[in-house]
Amino acid sequence: MSRPKPDHRGRAVFAAARSKKTYPGDHAFETALFRLIKGDKDVSADVREAYEIYNRERHRHVLDAAIFGKATNDQISEALEMAPSMLTVYRHLFCDRNVFPHSLAIPDYVAKMPIDDEYKEWYSIAYTQGPAALLRKFKIGDPSPLSPDEIMQGVAVDQYHRFLTHRGEQITSSVANAAFQWGKEAARTASLILQRGDLPGVGGNEEMRIALRVTDETKTAEQSGLQPEDLVTE
């Protein structure tokens, strides 16, 4: 049995509008959408705007991607200048995230959507980097300020993922050597995050400067006290 799609309520209203004179349900948003489709313009501005966004493919995918990435109405409202009340209507009619039984179902669903790769990239940004990263791409005006904590958390995550690239590589490979350096930087940044508040006189910007300082600590085999034969793997 196939699961309902995020816009299942809106689709049900569309189907009813094709075959019925009155809407069989009693939900206010659904009834208003039914009337709008039937030509009644005397419905709330929130329902009209939600319907317009749904019918604009580019706008729909920006908003759906943000919602899939767990953006709150306040986050979306601040970045995209949309009324929270309209977003509540949109979520109910066209983007019910609760249809997904778990987070892993979301990328699977997106992968099967017949949409442009650009739109798929928006979804990927939202659920791998967080909705704020996506919303910053579309916010007009000055970007939202980032706190030192947000910056350091982002740096630490990127550093850690770069560190993981050594897995499956020969320990003497250039990839492994570079990855180990990233691991040291990730540990250093994580340590600074844990110590925040315990560093008297050190501000967030100074902590970032320390965290991002990169030093080359690579040693030659001779400096490490290793013999060439020690580095040979089977």
pLDDT of amino acid 205? 47
* 29-33, 99-103, 212-216: the lowest-pLDDT one: 212-216
Indicate if the pLDDT at residue 226 is higher than 70: no
Give percent of the chain with pLDDT exceeding 90: 55
Contact between 132 and 144 (Cβ < 8 Å): yes
Residue 48 pLDDT more than 70? Answer: yes
Q: Quick one: pLDDT band at residue 3, thresholds 50, 70, 90?
A: confident
- Tell me: pLDDT of 1 over 80: no
Distance CA 76, CA 30 (A): 22
Mean pLDDT of 41-70: 97
d(CA 43, CA 93): 15
Mean of pLDDT values over 12-29: 95
- The least confident of 33-37, 66-70, 125-129, 171-175 is 171-175
User: Token pair for residue 21?
Assistant: 């004179």
Mean pLDDT for 44-52 is 98
Average pLDDT, the chain: 82
pLDDT reading at 43 higher than 70 = yes
For residue 179, give the nearest of 158, 157, 162 by alpha carbon. Answer: 162
The type of residue at 226 is: L
Q: pLDDT digit string (tens) for 139-167?
A: 987 666 666 666 666 666 666 656 666 66
Lowest mean pLDDT among 34-48, 113-127, 219-233: 219-233
Tell me if 192 sits within 8 A of 156, measured CB to CB. Answer: no
The reported pLDDT for the residue numbered 177 is 73
What is the total residue count of the chain?
234
Average pLDDT over residues 170-199: 69
Check whether 208 has a pLDDT greater than 60.
no
How large a percentage of the chain has pLDDT more than 70?
A: 67
- The mean pLDDT value for 106-129 works out to 94
